[in-house]
């Protein structure tokens, strides 16, 4: 079996923290050939797709063979694990991966769903599970919503890792000017949500594999901040799922499975769904470190189980 990982440049990856590396190591342990490429290495000639890729040995990190052209239909599975932003290059890569998909290759996550499930807007499909939320460009609408909800959080729709997320206090001065700025003078929509004080106790990242919760961590903000993202200094803690969180996973499961979203990370604050991360969800290393659960091995095992059906 061969698996291809479409990634950011290898030189920029920290193997001690990176979930893609954990998956690559688990695949290698399962005697699967592991190959890597960047989105810019994908190509199509007619109705056949190819790639300029390298075979690698990920453990110890990392032995890389010389790259060469290989047809994408030579791979049993392709992991699209390029980090956001979901820009033109990312979108075109998903279209090229669809050529391979038409040739029978399994692409994770499904390219069409990567385009359709914006990591902020995708959660709106389950708005009944979320805090009060508005997505809009018009300043007066956002101001009215903020006044009604009191303290709110502003999230850019293309952001990642907590970047650009702003907490706005009730009755804050300069709100109109701030909204003009974040909406680029009412040209771009932004997400506004009621602030959940429970975030100060942690934001739970739950990893779902084929619709099932496989592991979770609680991420606590660093002192003086409300953003719990690990990239911004949040601290990972061991945790267990509450009854409410299991119910959220159960409600999401059918849609995730039906739309080919095999590996997903959801964020839950105080029993409310915040985001559904589908591009390159993180957290494997932290879960494995805190719980001793071989999560990456379990993900690859689940994938192989699906192949054998």
Q: Could you list the active site residues?
A: 120, 155, 205, 219, 227, 267, 275, 277
Q: How far, CA to CA in Å, does 273 sit from each of 59, 220, 230, 241, 266?
A: 36, 16, 18, 13, 7
Q: Could you give the angle at the alpha carbon of 117 between the alpha carbons of 113 and 120, nearest 5°?
A: 165
Largest CA distance in the chain: 60
DSSP per residue, 41-109 = GEEEETTEEEEEEEEEE-SSS-EEPPPEEEEGGG-SEEEE-PPSP--HHHHHHHHHHHHHHHTT-EEES
Token pair 């389950």: residue? 126
Task: Round to whole Å and give the CA distance between 117 and 162.
Answer: 18
């Amino acid at each position: 079996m061969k698996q291809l990982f479409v990634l950011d440049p290898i030189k920029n990856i920290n193997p001690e923290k990176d979930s893609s590396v954990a998956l690559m190591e688990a695949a290698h342990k399962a005697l699967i050939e592991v190959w890597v490429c960047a989105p810019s290495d994908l190509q199509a000639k007619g109705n056949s797709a190819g790639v300029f890729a390298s075979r690698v040995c990920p453990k110890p990190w990392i032995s890389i063979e010389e790259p060469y052209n290989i047809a994408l239909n030579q791979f049993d599975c392709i992991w699209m694990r390029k980090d956001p932003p979901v820009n033109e290059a990312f979108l075109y890569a998903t279209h090229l991966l669809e050529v391979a998909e038409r040739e029978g290759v399994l692409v994770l996550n499904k390219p069409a769903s990567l385009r359709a499930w914006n990591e902020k807007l995708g959660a709106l499909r389950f708005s009944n599970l979320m805090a009060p939320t508005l997505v809009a460009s018009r300043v007066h609408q956002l101001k009215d919503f903020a006044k009604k909800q009191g303290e709110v959080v502003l999230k850019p729709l293309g952001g990642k890792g907590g970047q650009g997320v702003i907490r706005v206090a009730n009755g804050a001065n300069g709100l109109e000017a701030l909204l003009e700025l974040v909406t680029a003078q009412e040209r771009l929509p932004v997400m506004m949500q009621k602030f959940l004080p429970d975030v100060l106790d942690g934001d739970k990242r739950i990893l779902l594999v084929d619709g099932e919760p496989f592991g979770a961590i609680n991420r606590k903000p660093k002192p003086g901040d409300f953003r719990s993202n690990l990239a911004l200094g949040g601290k990972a803690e061991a945790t267990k799922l509450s009854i409410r969180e299991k119910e959220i996973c159960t409600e999401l499961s059918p849609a995730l499975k039906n739309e080919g979203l095999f590996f997903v990370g959801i964020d839950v604050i105080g029993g409310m769904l915040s985001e559904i991360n589908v591009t390159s969800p993180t957290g494997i290393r932290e879960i494995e470190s805190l719980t001793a659960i071989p999560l990456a091995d379990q993900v690859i095992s689940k994938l192989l189980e699906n192949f054998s059906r």
